[in-house]
Amino acid sequence: MVVLTEQNMNELEQGAAKAREVIINTVYKVGAGHLGGPLSATDILTALYNQVLNIDPKNPDWEQRDRFVLSKGHSAIALYTVLALRGYFPVEEMETFDGMQSRLQAHPDKDLLPGLDMSTGSLGQGISTAVGMALGAKLKGDSFMTYCMIGDGESQEGQMWEAADVAAKYKLDNLIVIMDYNKLQQYGWAGEEEARLNPIQNPEIKWKAFEWDVTTINGHSMKEIIDACQKAKKTVGKPTIIIANTVKGKGVHFMENNYLWHSKVPTEEEYAVSIKEISKGGLNHDS
């Protein structure tokens, strides 16, 4: 069990704040990219790559590394940022994001960038590849864990539930799925903003019905994220899903819970306000 000290907590929170700053700075400078979903996922990704995953940035193809699949591939900019800050490639390369010759495309391409375990973008498909990785590890006797981040919006895809069924059937206790449950997708059935429906209601009940071990946490609490992952590693005989309650656009007041910031470039004034808010010192421990 990882014991998280006050210093560890502060370092992780500062790392997440730095990641948010890089994400916003990148989108502003290149004039393209998603913000809402990446900002809601930043704390989870920071915790994973700095505290949870068994990885080596100097040896990204290490056979026994833990695998990570970003099923909600449109949030790639958050993953790139965390990888860069972890040492997989220079942070300065973020300025090439979404460029024609860049390794940092709008959706992850594992053939371009070391540290990526799967190319994703078509929503609902990433979890299937994660199931395949976990099943392959079981068959080969490998000890690595497979992690997969899914979105609540893509949970409307039927393929998600086919994968969930298969994972439970083969008792893939080496698979940990994390739902970025920010409860706000870009498009909805309702025409009125205030009438937008939550993408998935009662996910705990649904995943339990598929015989998964289910844990619900605050997805902006480093302690809860790490504790949930440690608990999941000890689960025997079934896969685990961590329902991480998050805030879309986390860290910038006018982006939070605003679907318009799913994918939008800040103006000069919005950029200045965003960076000021993010750079105040990171998150409170109970935020």
Instruction: Single out the residue of 118, 117, 123 nearest to residue 72, CA to CA.
Output: 123
Instruction: Single out the residue of 216, 226, 221 nearest to residue 287, CA to CA.
Output: 221
Both structure tokens of 223: 């302690």
Both structure tokens of 10: 């502060």
pLDDT band at 26 (very low <50, low <70, confident <90, very high): very high
Instruction: Single out the residue of 225, 279, 224 nearest to residue 252, CA to CA.
Output: 279
Mean local confidence (pLDDT), 48-70? 97
Mean local confidence (pLDDT), 63-86? 97
Count Cα neighbours of 188 within 13 Å in the Cβ-side half-sphere: 18
* Helix locations, the chain, DSSP H: 6-30, 36-47, 76-86, 126-140, 158-169, 203-209, 222-234, 268-278
What percent of the chain has pLDDT above 90?
Answer: 88
Mean local confidence (pLDDT), 263-267? 94
At residue 283, the pLDDT reads 42
Per-residue pLDDT tens digits for 267-287: 999 999 999 999 875 444 333
Per-residue pLDDT tens digits for 181-207: 999 987 766 555 556 788 999 999 999
> CB count, 10 Å around CB of 274?
26
The rounded mean pLDDT for the chain is: 93
- Asked which of 88-102, 134-148, 189-203 is least confident by mean pLDDT, the reply is 189-203
* Separation of CA 105 from chain center: 17
Mean local confidence (pLDDT), 209-214? 98
Mean local confidence (pLDDT), 247-269? 94
Mean local confidence (pLDDT), 15-25? 97
The DSSP secondary-structure symbol of 85 reads: H
At residue 286, the pLDDT reads 39
At residue 197, the pLDDT reads 81
